[in-house]
Amino acid sequence: MLTDVFVPLLTYPDADTEAMIECAMRVCRPFATSVAFTTFEVDIPNIAYSLGAEFYDVSGLIAEAEKFSRANTERLGKRIAQLGGALPVTSATARMRQDEITLAATAMAALHDLSIIEVKPGAIGQRELAEGLVFGSGRPILVLPAASPLSPVHEHIAIAWDGGRAAARAVQDAMPLLVKARSVTLLTAFDDKAIGESTVAGLAGYLRRHAIEAKHHDVSSAGISIGAALQAGASKQGAGLLVMGAFGHSRIRDFVMGGATRSTLDEVKLPIFLSH
């Protein structure tokens, strides 16, 4: 099931927006039965003997950063409080050091079915949170692009398929969404990885046994990253969601993260359902 949804919100330095809250609610409303928001406010230690302290007002800079985070926490909290409708929503605030947020959010995500986050291009904090959640929580995540109009994610779903373990796990985790989709497209990139036609037919057969009819479309990277090619292929086919497996290792993911996972998170252009 994917009914119990967790939405962690960042306030510094990559602050989430009210639009992200609205997008998250719009995306999960067709399948969720509860949504839990946690807004993370930063607590920056005052380093007494900081290098360059004689040239900079370190205490003042810390105070400004915490003020920025606190204002964002209040702003996001007010928007959550305004959410109406039949879907139960809870809201909490957690104050901690910035380097503690990903670990804390990952522990929270492990106690929910699905996490929804936004990843903007160049937003290091959001990127780190996404990686921590997908590789550390044991749960799938749904990554939203920078706030923009979204097609209903549950109507047409594309699956990035390479026949591997991560892709198979992603399909299994996304099954509650796939069985409700009106249309499903299998995306492959034969020029990126050797994939036999038989494994594509095998996945189509597996889905058919779950009453899901899927069509196949191969994408060509054409000189662009595999992540960009898969997203472009999904969009071209009219999909509102791309399901894909995340390849990497939670402790050394910066060194061994798969090319498709890395390039997808570099620039998210449509909602991505990631599972490890």
Q: What is the DSSP code (8-state) at residue 225?
A: -
Dist CA 32 CA 151 (whole Å): 17
pTM of the model: 0.91
Task: Indicate the DSSP class of residue 137.
Answer: S
The full set of domains in the chain, from first to last, is 4-48+57-144 (3.40.50.620), 156-275 (3.40.50.620)
DSSP one-letter code for 211:
T
Predicted confidence (pLDDT) per residue in 195-249, tens digit? 878 999 999 999 999 999 999 999 976 678 888 999 999 999 999 999 999 876 5
Per the CB < 8 A criterion, the answer to whether 177 and 241 are in contact is yes
Residues 34, 15: Cα–Cα separation, whole Å: 24
Residue 192 pLDDT > 90, yes or no? no
Please provide residue 128's backbone torsions phi and psi, each rounded to the nearest 5 degrees: -65, -40
With 0-12 / 13-18 / 19 or more C-beta atoms within 10 angstroms meaning exposed / middle / buried, residue 214 is buried
Please check the confidence at residue 98 and state whether its pLDDT lies above 50.
Answer: yes
Number of H helices, E strands in the chain: 10, 10
**Which is nearest to 41 in space by CA: 22, 13, 60?**
13
Taking only the tens place, the pLDDT of each residue in 129-183 is 999 999 999 999 999 998 665 677 889 999 999 999 999 999 999 999 999 999 9
